[in-house]
Structure 1
Amino acid sequence: MTDKKTLLVAQLCITFMMALSMSGIMGLLVMGPTAEWLQAWPRQFITAWPIAFVLTLFTGRIGFAIAHRLVHPTA
């Protein structure tokens, strides 16, 4: 089992990378590769990251439980 400090730092890193990439990709799909997209991306990321982090605090345990049941169905 991973200690709580490592898990928290991992959640910060993972949500940072996911919010950065998803806000960029989704904005690119909606706006296209424009100057407006590049201008809007940082604001979208700053909005998305805290939301993603808070959501992982609740959904992380559920995701690990589902994964454990899928990998070890009889345990």
Structure 2
Amino acid sequence: MKTLLLAQLIISFLMATIMTGFFSLLALGVSPQWPQAWLHNFVIAWPVAFCLSLVVGKVAFAIAHRVFPPARA
């Protein structure tokens, strides 16, 4: 359980960082306002992404296990 929670923290951090950076760069271009906009959006996006990953992760694993059932030992 600890590993899964840590993985969700790391994944949500990376995804929030990349996505907010990418979309704020598209909206503002490389400008003096871009780093501040990126940070502002990231601070909002990371907690949201983490909370959603707790729900969406379970759904994604359930779907993946239906498509590719785990091997039986």
Counterparts of 1:63 and 1:26, CA distance in 2: 24
2:7 is the alignment partner of 1:14: no
Question: How high is the TM-score relative to the length of structure 2?
Answer: 0.88
Identical aligned pairs, as a percentage? 51
Q: What does residue 70 of structure 1 align with?
A: 67
1:7-60 deviations in whole A, cap 9, x for unaligned? 001100110000001000011111111111112111111100000000011111
Structure 1 counterpart of 2:28: 31
> What is the distance in 1 between the residues matched to 2:66 and 2:14?
27
For 1:54 and 1:25, how far apart are their aligned partners in 2? Answer: 21
| Corresponding position: 1:50 with 2:47 | yes
- For structure 1, the residue ranges without an aligned partner over 5 or more in a row are none
Structure 2 unaligned blocks of 5 or more: none
Structure 1 runs (4+) deviating above 3 angstroms are none
Distance 1:71 1:29 in 2: 37
- Using the size of structure 1 for normalisation, the TM-score is 0.86
Query: Alignment length, in residue pairs?
Result: 69
